[in-house]
Amino acid sequence: MVRSGTIQLPECVFQRLIQYSQNLYGVVLLNFGIASSLASSTLFAGLYFYATLLAPLDGKEIFAWRMLLTLPFLTILMVAGKESRHVTALFARIRKEPQLVIGLCASSALLGSQQWLFLWAPINDRGLDLSLGYFMLPLTLLLVGRVFYRERLSLLQNMATASAALGVLHQFYVVGHFSWVAPFVASGFPVYFALRKNLGTDNLGGLWFDMLLMFPVAIYFIFKDPNVGAAFERAPGLYVLVPLLGMLTAAAFMSYILASRKLPFSLFGLLGYLEPVLIVFVALAVGERIKPDEMLTYLPIWTAVGLLVVDGALHMRRQFLGTPA
C-alpha cells in the first residue's frame, strides 16, 4: 500500500496514476508541437499572400523590411514567453568560445538566403521550382530523421511518405527539369537545422541571434536607396502593413522553432507538407486555378496529410492509454 495524504492506495493503482500522468505529459508536449507546426504553416502561407498587399515595394525591399522588423517583435515574444534566457546564455557562450561566431554567421546566412529566395523566386518566374523544393523538403527531413537520428516510421507514416513521394515525382515530371532552386530549398533547411543542433543553438535564442546578424544587411538594403520613403508616401497603408509583416513573421518563426523542438524529426518533416497545401489554397483564393495535370501532384500530397492526421490521432491515443506503438 502507498499512502497519499490521508488516502492509502494500492501499489499498482499508484504506479498506474504515475504512468497516466507521464503519458498525459507526453500527449501535451506532442499536442503543443503539432499546434505550433500548424500555426507556423498557416502563418507562412498567409505571409505568401501578404506580400501581394505591399505594393509598390519590390521583393528585395519586402525581404529587408521583413528581416528588420522581425527582430524587435521576436524579442517581445521571447521576453513575454520567458525565453530570453537563451539569448543571455548564448552571449555567455560567445565570450567563452569566440569561434562560435563563425558557426552563427553561417547559420544566419543559411536562414537569410532561404528567406530571400522565398520572395525572389515568384517574381523571377521560378515559383514552380520553389514549390517543388518545398514539396521535397519534408521528404529530405524524413530522410535525415531516418538516417541520422534512427527514427522509426509507423505504417501510416510510411504510407504518407510513399504517397507524398509520388506527388513530388509527378511534380518533377511536370516541371521537366531540375533547377538549382528546388535542391537549394530541399537541402538548405535540413543543413540549417543540423548546424544549429551541432552548435547547440536549436532554440529561440539561436533564432534571435540569426535575426540579429541579418539586421545590418536589412538596414543596408533599405537605406541604400535615397528615395526609401517614396513607397510609403504613395501607399500610406504601408505604415501599418509593414510593421504587421514583422509581427507575423516573428510569430511564424517562433512557432516553427517550437515545433522543431517538440516533435520527432520525422513527424516534423511530414507536417511540413501542410504549408505548400495551404499555399495552394491561398493561390486559389486569389484567382489561380489548378491545371488538370497538376491534380496528380496535389492529390497524393493531400492524401499524405490525411494519413498524418490519422496517425497523429492514433499516436496520441496510444500515448494517453499507455499502449505500445
**Residue type present at position 317:** R
pLDDT tier at 10, thresholds 50, 70, 90: low
The burial class, CB within 10 Å (0-12 / 13-18 / 19+), for 45 is buried
User: Rounded CA gap, 238 and 227, in Å?
Assistant: 15
Q: Kindly report, residue by residue over 248-294, the tens digit of the pLDDT.
A: 998 998 888 788 777 876 677 778 778 877 877 777 776 767 778 77
Nearest in space to 44 (alpha carbons), one of 119, 105, 129:
119
**Residue type present at position 213:** L
pTM: 0.73
Q: Kindly report, residue by residue over 172-191, the tens digit of the pLDDT.
A: 787 776 678 888 998 998 89
Give residue limits of the domains in the chain: 31-321
Query: Which residues have C-beta within 8 Å of that of residue 6, sequence separation ≥ 6?
Result: none
Beta pairing partners, 307 = none
Using CA atoms, how far residue 234 sits from 57, 60, 76, 223, in Å, is 10, 18, 30, 18
Q: What is the pLDDT of residue 16?
A: 52
Q: Which three cell numbers stand for residue 180?
A: 538549382
Nearest in space to 84 (alpha carbons), one of 223, 206, 175:
206
DSSP of 176-201: -S--SHHHHHHHHHHHHHHHHHHHT-
Q: How many C-beta atoms surround the C-beta of residue 46 within 10 A?
A: 14
CB-based contact 93:100 (threshold 8 Å): yes
